[in-house]
Structure 1
Amino acid sequence: MPAVAEVPGTGDAEDATEVVLVGGPADIPAELRVHRLRAGESTIKLLHNGGYEHFECVVSTLGRGRPPVFQWTGRTRIAE
């Protein structure tokens, strides 16, 4: 099962990789579209407007000087 990051800025500084989130709702602030994830995480779950925006890695650019790209894949609501 892939790892899930729910909070921006997770991971230790030494083993974290900066990634970029693309797609999804236009009102996601720019500062939330850049995350630091630990090695091996391939899914991000971002809490936003009463639900979770889901992102998955679509372009791995490790070793190429650019952050990996995580594409929006959908939204789920928080159960009440």
Structure 2
Amino acid sequence: MTSAKIVLSGGPERLSGRSPVRTMVAPEEKVKILSGAGYEHFVHNGEFLTVDGENLPVFQWSERTKIAE
């Protein structure tokens, strides 16, 4: 599996205390991150941001879903 750095933008405050730069395994156009009892969903809309000399894709928060019981 390949991994890549991405930038997360938006979302709930509980994620804002962490670095917006994340390393994800095989990010595609959508990313979901486990947070509490659900998932935060992020989508890539074609935006990129240069961070420490690297051109990284920006994933914008889109929705939250709960974990199915």
Q: TM-score range by the shorter chain?
A: 0.7 to 0.9
Structure 1 unaligned regions, length at least 5: 1-10
Q: RMSD over aligned Cα, in angstroms? A: 2.5
Higher share of residues assigned strand: 2
Please give the residue correspondences for 1:1-80 in structure 2 after superposition, counting only pairs within 5 Å. 11-12=1-2, 16-28=3-15, 29-31=17-19, 33-37=20-24, 41-58=28-45, 59-60=47-48, 65-80=54-69
Please give the TM-score of this superposition, normalised by the length of structure 1.
0.64
Q: 4+ runs of 1 displaced by more than 2 Å?
A: 33-40
Structure 2 unaligned regions, length at least 5: none
Q: How many residues matched?
A: 65
Identity of aligned residues (%): 38
